[in-house]
Amino acid sequence: MELQNLIRDVPNFPKKGIVFKDITTLLKDPVGLSGATEELYNFAKEKKITKVAGIESRGFIFGSLLAHQLKAGFIPIRKPGKLPADKISESYSLEYGTDSIEIHKDAIVEGDRVLLHDDLLATGGTMEAACKLVEKLGGKVIQISFLIELIFLNGREKLKQYDIRSIIQYNSE
């Protein structure tokens, strides 16, 4: 079964001109959910990952499943104001303006081998900021994985020093 057939395109969400890649149609399919998890796991299984960091909020879903399979810990990287304890933040550019993400200072210990995961790679700004957070805390970014990659937005360019994996690619909108 083609996993790509389980992704739903929603035009003009959350705003006009964006084609939103909706993964809920894959998540609800038992074969799709386990097949996607297995493919992501296979990319990382030999990498001695100690922590998986998932980016809010859709990155938490496969991020947690991967952490469980890899027998690693899970770290949430969250939108501003959500994490309760001591944290650091990193800003990144959006089409208009900036946004930021945060991580708990004690989430990573020096030398942690980290897999970062998000549902989708678009321009790469979010993941670039997430990698900086992990590295500032002394973690080593071993791999970055995505369920979906929008190739035409060239997000890989920002992340080229890393091992980047994705299981569903789109060459155009």
Q: Which of residues 33-72 bind ligand AMP (CB under 6 A)?
A: 55, 58
Binds ligand AMP by CB under 6 A, chosen from 53, 120, 134, 147:
120
- List, in order, residues 6 or more apart from 73 with CB less than 8 Å away: 50, 51, 52, 67
Regarding beta strands 51-55 and 19-22, do their DSSP bridges make them parallel or antiparallel, or are they unpaired?
unpaired
Convert residues 2-21 into a mask of x (bound to ligand AMP by CB under 6 A) and - (unbound). Answer: ----------------xxxx
Q: Are 83 and 109 in contact (CB under 8 A)?
A: no
Task: Tell whether residue 125 is a contact of ligand AMP (CB under 6 A).
Answer: yes
Minimum Å distance from CB 48 to ligand AMP? 26
Rounded Cα distance between 128 and 121, Å, is 10
Other C-beta atoms closer than 10 Å to the C-beta of 33 total: 18
The catalytic residue positions are 58, 95
Measured from the CB atom, the residue of 58 and 165 that comes closer to ligand AMP is 58
Contacts with ligand AMP, residue ranges (CB under 6 A): 18-21, 55, 58, 118-126, 155
